[in-house]
């Protein structure tokens, strides 16, 4: 199963190819995507992305996870989250969201089993 292309990104809106939903924040993985609801794990801009935010994506068998920190990079990514991914043998890329989406799409186009979490505002 391939990772779906992120078809468009603008402030507060993301579209994933093959999905009719418009996301504010989203999770993507080979074969799927869904809304990334921060309330599920108590995530906030600080301390930021928690391992719990990534467990679902990791369980999909990804080799790389791309994290989009927001348009102004307000979303933090603590070292503990990066360590969690590395301990699971997963490469991690942390970038400003526009750059993160470009990197994710490039990896997906190369056939990499890539997943990601993307914040589309601040």
- The full set of domains in the chain, from first to last, is 6-118 (3.40.1230.10)
Helix boundaries (H) for 10-109: 51-58, 79-87, 97-109
Which among 89, 86, 96 is positioned nearest to 118, based on CA atoms? 96
The string of pLDDT tens digits covering residues 26-74 is: 999 999 999 999 999 999 999 999 999 999 999 999 999 999 999 999 9
Query: Which residues, in sequence order, are CB contacts of 20 under 8 Å at separation 6+?
Result: none
Query: Which residues, in sequence order, are CB contacts of 31 under 8 Å at separation 6+?
Result: 1, 2, 3, 4, 60
Q: Which residue has the tokens 């990104």?
A: 9
What pTM does this model have?
0.98
């Amino acid at each position: 199963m391939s990772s779906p292309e992120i078809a468009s990104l603008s402030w507060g809106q993301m579209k994933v190819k093959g999905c009719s939903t418009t996301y504010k924040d989203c999770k993507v993985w080979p074969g799927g995507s869904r809304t990334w609801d921060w309330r599920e794990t108590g995530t906030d801009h600080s301390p930021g992305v928690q391992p719990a935010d990534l467990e679902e994506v990791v369980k999909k068998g990804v080799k790389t996870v791309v994290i989009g920190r927001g348009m102004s990079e307000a979303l933090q990514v603590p070292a503990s989250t990066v360590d969690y991914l590395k301990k699971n043998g997963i490469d991690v890329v942390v970038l400003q969201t526009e750059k993160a989406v470009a990197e994710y799409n490039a990896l997906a186009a190369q056939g990499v089993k890539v997943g990601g979490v993307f914040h589309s505002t601040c």
